[in-house]
A and B are shown apart, each in its own frame.
Chain A
Amino acid sequence: GNSVTQMEGPVTLSEEAFLTINCTYTATGYPSLFWYVQYPGEGLQLLLKATKADDKGSNKGFEATYRKETTSFHLEKGSVQVSDSAVYFCALSRFNQAGTALIFGKGTTLSVSS
């Protein structure tokens, strides 16, 4: 079945360091791929998405490219800030005739120190 695997955390970085959070997926068909972010005490917010192969999603300095050949959607940011400390979830869409839900990875906690 469809599934998402993302790197386990926590990831601890200093401010201005380069960030990569790996995400790979298993899916039938052509799902859309998403990164969501959850700040402490809050619900999830969409960070970026890509709906077809080779698409690049980007937002707030974060980027991820939909790679069908490697079934990956790695999240990257060139220079992290303390305010980026959060839990990051990779997800893919699961579409059936009843509608679309998301399948999530287990989440990766990012902690950025100044």
Chain B
Amino acid sequence: DVKVTQSSRYLVKRTGEKVFLECVQDMDHENMFWYRQDPGLGLRLIYFSYDVKMKEKGDIPEGYSVSREKKERFSLILESASTNQTSMYLCASSSTGGRSGNTIYFGEGSWLTVV
């Protein structure tokens, strides 16, 4: 069965801390994504990666960075957490074959609260 696993479901961090959100997929997918979900705003793309060590900015990359050292793992990094980064973070993955109709699979999400 398809599996995207996010390491932490719930985190509470202090302002200014460096935060790592980890995501692992077991489907050998080339593409991986990080979205954040906020009430009334839907899902917004932060970063995505289409290959190991490759990354591309999404719509709201400011304040975030990512790392993809292995194909199955995609990490989201908040260099200095701020309260406006309190949100639900969703990791996702998909394969490349086929131009645009491939299903994107999501993890269960990580709820981050910055205090």
Contact = CB atoms under 8 A, between A and B. Distances in A.
Given A101-B45, A104-B43, A105-B42, A32 B101 contact: yes
Contact of B101 (A42, A44, A51): A51
Given A89-B42, A101-B48, A104-B42, A46 B96 contact: no
A98 B103 CA distance: 17
B31 A100 contact: yes
A44 B31 contact: no
A95 B100 contact: yes
Contacts of A36: 106
Contacts of B50: 98-99
B60 to A, nearest CB: 12
B33 to A, nearest CB: 6
Interface string A63-88: 00000000000000000000000000
B107 A101 contact: no
Interface residues of B, number: 31
B42 A107 contact: yes
B42 A100 contact: no
Nearest to A108: B42
Contacts of A98: 48, 50, 54, 56
Contact of A43 (B41, B56, B108): B108
Interface string A35-66: 01000011111100101000000000000000
**Among all A-B residue pairs, the 8 with the closest Cβ atoms:** A99-B50, A51-B101, A106-B42, A93-B100, A43-B106, A104-B43, A44-B106, A32-B101
6 contacts: A36-B106, A42-B108, A93-B100, A93-B101, A99-B56, A104-B44
Interface of B: 4, 30-31, 33, 35, 40-45, 48, 50, 54, 56, 58, 90, 92, 94, 96, 99-109
